[in-house]
Chain A
Amino acid sequence: NAGVTQTPKFQVLKTGQSMTLQCAQDMNHNSMYWYRQDPGMGLRLIYYSASEGTTDKGEVPNGYNVSRLNKREFSLRLESAAPSQTSVYFCASSEAPTATYNEQFFGPGTRLTVL
């Protein structure tokens, strides 16, 4: 099993460009998440999908959109990138958000720089 995979691993964008970050999991998990991690800020939830067909905003959704394409895939789109979106982006999955001991499995991250 590959677990959670993310593409690309690195990306440099110019202000105003758009891009989509891809995430896929092969663990048959119901829930998927997108986080960003900035120095001194910890992990912040952007959007999550509790189950296929549903998406909800997290703590910092502005400037992002998501698509839960199917049970395996959850993409994050930046429509018009801004320097404030320079960050490391992690995708994660878990069986269900309300399971008592619900481990989240993380992908390796995408390091995005917006110039």
Chain B
Amino acid sequence: EVQLVESGGGLVQPGESLRLSCAASGFTFSSYWMYWVRQAPGKGLVWVSRISGDGSSTSYADSVKGRFTISRDNAKNTQYLQMNSLRAEDTAVYYCATSYSTIVAAPGGWGQGTLVTVSS
């Protein structure tokens, strides 16, 4: 069974940094694409970033490009989201997700999310 557990969320001030982690189990982590998706309070889901199984390919939403960095450690079955220069509009629940399969790239398994609040 796919299990994804996010951690690292919290309250930070505008301009500060935060690193989210997502610990994975129940599947061959290195063979799957991984995602970050966020949901601001009262708003819808928004795709943030994606990373390939070997970490060589990454992509970002325009709203976070240049500020956020996605990475993964396949030896630890963990992916990360380094968030710099945080803004109030980055306040959201951040979900970690894995591709449905090694062939189907669509986000399939999801974690419960971790809340990031950016406020002074």
Do A and B come from the same complex? no
The residues of A with any CB-CB pair to B shorter than 8 Å are none
- B-side residues, CB < 8 A to A, are none
